[in-house]
Amino acid sequence: MRTLRLALALALLGGAVRLAAMIFYASGDANYNTTAPTGSLTNSGWQWQGYWHGFCGTSIGTNLFITAQHVGGVTGNTFSFAGTDYRTVARFADTNSDLVIWQVCGTFPSFAPLYQTGDEIYRACVVFGRGVTRGSEVTITNNGTAAVRGWHWGAADDRLRWGVNKITALSTGGIGTARLLVAPFDRNGGANAAALGSGDSGGAVFINNSGWRLAGINFAVDGPYNYVANGPGFFAALFDASGLYDEVDTNVWKLVATAQPSAFYATRIFDRLAWIRSVIAAHDGQQPAPALEAADTVTGPFMTVTGAVVNATAQTITVPMPAKPQFYRLNGCVSLQVSSVKFSGGKLVLTWTNGS
């Protein structure tokens, strides 16, 4: 397998791109699979998908959701889930994958179970995401005959969609030690066979094993591709890349000689179960200590203060002396106010109390 290379979501910088879209083999209808799946796919994960500033997040605890780090976000942003908006108050980023868990104020009505058996290969999956629709055809011409190979990425519309696929392999090339689930765009995968594109990042992959369980979080796709061996190339969902050029390194293009589809990649939950469980055990259902945020002006934008030391027992927050005047606020789940500010040991110490 060629080396998986990555770029930021929404910033097409070359190589395999971190995600944002869903494209179907069977249909280019923008309304395709924009309502919850039914039949044998009922309750296959749609009910646990929330809206995280243009991307997806999946509830995994009473007040925790998981998504991809590379889609961004800061504490104080809103996570919309099951018709309710929840304010985020804490962020727990994994150092060995692209996964991040966010804590919110409030309680979710339900949350997804985790895939725990490590037998994903050759299992069917349901995948969720938001982003672009199917664009124009990608065609090549052989002996005067045009052949369709897939579709360019189309317009983004920010709608939640679902599709199906099959996990065929595990891959390295992600962040840290976590492996990636590999799901090729198989033209024989049925009416709901789906590929991903730029906007599906953070969406979930579910596998049915004694119930539907969260097996992966969307991370990347293959690409870019090109008609010739130079130039910027393009991103597309391809059920057959043969006859096109694949960028195997920056500005290095290789002809795809044999029939093979493009694939999407999802960070494997099973590889990070211990970390996920540790976050859930420590924080699920707990009221977090407030986060200190600062801004240059009273109207913001406010950002979390790095290096702040929170003492929940003493209700103090200690921070390095700012290099310039700052406006501070506390981000917590209950009404808080700063009751005193003092200087100690060259640092700023803020004490808070509960109340309006």
**Residue that is last in its domain, among 223, 242, 273:** 273
Claim to verify: residue 224 and residue 129 sit in the same structural domain: yes
284 belongs to a structural domain: no
209 band by pLDDT with thresholds 50, 70 and 90: very high
Same domain, 255 and 306: no
Q: Tell me 193's DSSP state.
A: B
Residues 269 and 296 in one domain: no
171 has pLDDT over 80: yes
Q: Is residue 249 part of a domain?
A: yes
Over the stretch 83-98, which tens digit does the pLDDT of each residue have? Answer: 999 999 999 999 999 9
332-355, pLDDT tens digit by residue? 888 888 889 898 888 999 999 887
Determine the average pLDDT of the residues in 211-226: 96
In a domain, 93, yes or no: no
The domain total for the chain is 2
Reported as a pLDDT band with limits 50, 70 and 90, residue 11 is: very low
Nearest to 97 by CA among 158, 181, 36: 181
Question: pLDDT tens-digit profile of 319-334?
Answer: 998 889 999 988 888 8
Q: Considering 273, 303, 331, which residue would you say is the last residue of a domain?
A: 273
Q: Are 129 and 206 in contact (CB under 8 A)?
A: no
Question: Quick check: is 11 in a domain?
Answer: no
Contact between 267 and 216 (Cβ < 8 Å): yes
Distance separating alpha carbons of residues 6 and 338, to the nearest angstrom: 43
Q: Is 16's pLDDT higher than 90?
A: no
Residue 227, domain member (yes or no): yes
> Does some domain include residue 52?
yes
Residues 248 and 314 in one domain: no
Q: Distance (Å, rounded) from C-alpha 215 to C-alpha 208? A: 9
Dump pLDDT digits (tens) for 35-60. Answer: 999 999 999 999 999 999 899 999 99
pLDDT value for 235: 93
Residue 300 and residue 236 share a domain: no
| Average pLDDT across the chain, whole number | 90
Same domain, 183 and 252: yes
pLDDT at 356: 56
77 falls within a domain: no
Residue 101, pLDDT > 60, answer yes
164 and 301 share one domain: no
In this structure, the answer to whether residues 215 and 344 fall within a common structural domain is no
Residue 93: predicted pLDDT: 97
**Taking the mean position of all CA atoms in its chain, how far away is CA 347?**
37
Total residues found in the chain within this entry: 356
**Percentage of the residues of the chain whose pLDDT score is greater than 70:** 94
- Nearest Cα neighbor of 129 from 35, 28, 204, 42 is 204
Q: What are phi and psi of 40, to 5 degrees?
A: -70, -15
**CA dihedral sign, ordered 171, 172, 175, 179:** positive
Examine the domain organization and report whether 219 and 346 are in the same domain: no
Neighbour tally for 156: CB within 10 Å = 17
Does 13 score more than 60 pLDDT?
no
Amino acid 21: pLDDT = 54
Regarding whether 215 and 268 lie in a shared domain, the answer is yes
Position 15 confidence tier, pLDDT thresholds 50, 70, 90: very low
Which CATH number is 175's domain given? Answer: 2.40.10.10
Instruction: State mean pLDDT over 55-80.
Output: 96
Give a yes or no: residue 268 inside a domain: yes
Q: What is the pLDDT of residues 245-304, one digit of tens each?
A: 999 898 899 999 999 999 999 999 999 999 999 999 999 999 878 888 899 999 999 988
Task: Give the pLDDT band of residue 156 (cuts 50, 70, 90).
Answer: confident
Domain that includes residue 189, residue range: 21-60+113-273
Say whether both 184 and 227 belong to one domain: yes
Residue that is last in its domain, among 239, 273, 307: 273
Q: Do both 140 and 262 map to the same domain? A: yes
